[in-house]
Structure 1
Amino acid sequence: MLRIHFTPADLQGIRVARRPDPLWELVCAACRLVTNQGPLEFGAWRRGVLERTVRDLEARRALHLVGTLVPPVGYIPDFLTPTVSDEGLPAALEQVRATPRRRLQRELGILATTRPLPAWTTTLGKPGDRNMGHLVKALEVSFKALLEPRWGHIRKAVHDEVGLRARSLLDGGVRALLESLQPFARWNSPVLEVDYPVERDLYLEGRGLLLLPSYFCWRRPTALADPTLGPVLVHPVTARPFDAVALNSGGLERLLGRTRASVLAQVARGRARTTSEVAEVVGIALPSASYQLAALRDGGLVASHREGQFVRHSVTAMGHRLLDADAG
C-alpha cells in the first residue's frame, strides 16, 4: 500500500492533469505490451503493434532498447517520466535528454540491482556520449509504434476521466474528488491509501498532488519512486474507448436485453443519475436497477462514483459508442 500524507496546504494543491502525458503513457504501454494483462482492453492493440513492427526493424530495435529500462513489474527509473507538462512529446524528450549524469547513475544503479543492464547504460550522460541521443530517439520511435495510432482513443479516455473527476470536485469538493478514486484508493483523512505493490509512505509536505489519468495504466496506480520529486499519482482511467462497434437497428437491445439496454440509454441522458432515479425512469424495482447497473459497470459501459450518501452513474465512452452505433 502507498500511503500519501496530506497537510491542509496539500489539499489546496490537488490538481488533475487535463491531457495524457506522452512518456507516462509510453512507459505504461511498454509494460502492457509484454504481458497478457487486459486482453479485452489491449488485445487488439497488441496485435496491431505486432503487425506493424514485424515489418519495421527500427521500431523493433527501439522497443527492445526501451524495454531494457522498463521492466513489466518492479522499479522503473524516474528520469523516463519527467515533470508533467502540456508541451507535448518533444519537450518531454528534451527533459529526458537533459537529465544530470549523477541522477542517471543513481537511478540506473537501482535498476541494476533488479536486472542486468547492457554496457551502454554506463556511459549515459558523459560528455560526448551518443547513447543518450539513441535512447531519446528510441523513446520517440516507440511512441510512434505503440501510441500514435491510438492517441485519439487515449485523449478521449483521459478527457472523459477528467470530466468525471471535475464533476466530483464541483458537486462535493476535494473530499468527494479523493473519494471518487475508489476502488484503487481510499481517502482516510488525512491519508490517501492507494493500492500499491509495496509498502510505502509519501509525505507531500505542502507540494500538493497531481492526479494523472492514464489509458495504459492497469488495475492499480503508479507513482514516482523518488519522494523528493514532484508528487504525481498516475491512475487508470475509468473506461477505455474501443473501436466503433457496428450494430444493426435494435442490435443493442438484442445484445444486452431490453431492460439493460433501456438502463444504459437512460443513464446516457443528461447528468449522472442515482440508482433510484434510474429505477424510476426505467420503471423497474430498485434491486433490479442496481443489478443492471452493476452488470453494465462490469462490462465497461457505465462508470459509478460516490457523492456523499449517493452513488451516481454515467455512461462511459464505450457505452456512448454502442448507443451511437445502434442509433445509426
Structure 2
Amino acid sequence: MAVEIRFTAASVAKVRFAVSPLGETVLALRILLGSAGHAVHQPWVRSARPLLAGERELPLLRALIAGALPSFLFPVPEERLPSMAAELDLLRATEEAFFRREYGAVVRVPDEEVPDSTAVLPRLAAALHRCHELLIAPQWGRMRALLEADVGRRALTLVDGGVHALFAELHQDVAWDGGQLVVHGRRTPQTVCTVDTGGHGLVLLPSVFNWPNVGVDKSPVAAASIRYPAVGVGLLWEPPPQALTGLAPVLGQTRAAVLDALAEPLTTGALAGRLGITASAVSQHLGALRGAGLVSTRRTGRTALHLRTERANHLMGGSAGKG
C-alpha cells in the first residue's frame, strides 16, 4: 500500500524529529512475538527472546502486536527525547472511540465485543513498561546514541537543503512531490491511502527495530508520523572490541564503556545519554578514571569535555579514534 501524506504550508514548517522508546519497545516485541525483523537483529533476538517467556500479559501482547499494529501503540511524542513514562502516559490517555476502532480492526472483533479502554490500557502500559525495562533499557544507551546521531545528521540536511533534500535521502521508498509526500508500499503498491496532516505537521522518528523498512501512521490523531530506519543499525549488535572485553573484568563494564565512548571528546551529559546512566554516575566513574590517568578533562566556561588519554589508548590496544 502506498501512503500519500498531504501538507499545507503551515504543516511543512512543522516537520520535526523525535526518538521514541515506546515505539522501539513495541517494534522489538513485534520481532520477538512473530516472524518480522531483519537478520541484522538476530544477535539481539537470540538473547532477548528467552527473557520474554515469563511475561504474564503475553496473550494480550500477542493479540495487539504480533500482527497489524494499532495506532494507539504509537502516540506521537510531544518532545524530541521523551521518557518511557511520558509516552506510557500518552498511551493510557488514548480516547475511548479511537481505542475501540483500532482494537476492533486489529483483533477483528465486532464493536460490541471490544472491551473498554480502561480494562485494557493500564494492563498494556504496565506490560510494555516491564518489557522495556527487561529488553530495551539495557541497550538503550547505545540505541539512543545511534538514533540521536541520525537525527543530527538529518537535521543538518534539512537546514542545508530544505524538505526536498531531507526526504530525498530519508529512504528509497519515500518521495517528495511538491506539497505531497509519498511512501511507496512494496506488497500492494496499487492501493493508495491518504493521510492529511491537517496543519499539525509531521514527526520523523528514526528507528532501530523497524529497520530496514518505513512505517507510516495511517490513522494520526494530530501530527502525522513516519518511522524510518536509522543509519548504522547494522553495527549496533556487533560484539565489543576485544580490548574492551578484556578491560571490563578489571575496570567494570560501565567504566570500560566510558573509555570506549571517549575515543571522541564528550560532555558528561552526552556520556550519560550514550551509556543510559545518570550524569552523577558518569561523574563518579570519570573521577576514578582521571585518578588512574585514563581520562583527561578540559573545561571551557561551564562545559567540560572528556577524552581518554594515551595511556588508555595503549590499554585498549592502540584503538584511538575507533571507539
TM-score normalised according to structure 2 size: 0.65
Alpha-carbon deviations, 1:20-50, whole Å to 9, x = none? 21221122112222226322x2111111113
C-alpha change, 1:102 and 1:29, in structure 2 (3 Å) is: same
Aligned equivalents of 1:104, 1:185: Cα separation in 2: 29
SS where residue 181 of structure 1 aligns?
Answer: coil
Aligned equivalents of 1:222, 1:327: Cα separation in 2: 33
Counterpart of 1:194 in structure 2 is 183
Aligned equivalents of 2:212, 2:149: Cα separation in 1: 18
Equivalent position to 1:224, from 196, 200, 217: 217
Equivalent positions of 1:99-118 (< 5 A) are 99-113=94-108
Amino acid across the alignment from 1:7: T
Gaps of 5+ in 2: 244-317
Counterpart of 2:249 in structure 1 is none
C-alpha change, 1:195 and 1:32, in structure 2 (3 Å) is: farther
Aligned equivalents of 1:101, 1:172: Cα separation in 2: 41
Aligned equivalents of 1:139, 1:52: Cα separation in 2: 14
Contact 1:27–1:70 (8 Å) recurs in 2: yes
Aligned equivalents of 2:65, 2:4: Cα separation in 1: 24
Aligned equivalents of 1:160, 1:176: Cα separation in 2: 18
**After TM superposition, what 4+ stretches of structure 1 lie above 4 angstroms from structure 2?**
323-328
Counterpart of 2:37 in structure 1 is 37
Is 1:4–2:5 an aligned residue pair?
Answer: yes
Alpha-carbon deviations, 1:238-297, whole Å to 9, x = none? 22123345369xxxxxxxxxxxxxxxxxxxxxxxxxxxxxxxxxxxxxxxxxxxxxxxxx
Contact 1:63–1:142 (8 Å) recurs in 2: no
Aligned equivalents of 2:58, 2:218: Cα separation in 1: 23
Alpha-carbon deviations, 1:67-90, whole Å to 9, x = none? 211134x3x222222231344111
Counterpart of 1:175 in structure 2 is 164
Between the aligned residues of both structures, percent identity stands at 28
C-alpha change, 1:44 and 1:112, in structure 2 (3 Å) is: same
Gaps of 5+ in 1: 249-322
SS where residue 141 of structure 2 aligns?
Answer: helix
Is 1:139–2:134 an aligned residue pair?
Answer: no
Amino acid across the alignment from 1:219: P
SS where residue 123 of structure 1 aligns?
Answer: coil
Equivalent position to 1:243, from 238, 245, 251: 238
Equivalent positions of 1:1-328 (< 5 A) are 1-17=2-18, 20-33=19-32, 34-35=34-35, 37-39=37-39, 41-54=40-53, 57=54, 59=55, 61-72=56-67, 74=68, 76-86=69-79, 87-113=82-108, 122-125=114-117, 129=119, 131-196=120-185, 199-240=192-233, 241-246=236-241, 324=319
Aligned equivalents of 2:85, 2:240: Cα separation in 1: 34
Aligned equivalents of 1:210, 1:36: Cα separation in 2: 24
Alpha-carbon deviations, 1:284-317, whole Å to 9, x = none? xxxxxxxxxxxxxxxxxxxxxxxxxxxxxxxxxx
Report the RMSD for the aligned CA atoms in angstroms: 2.9
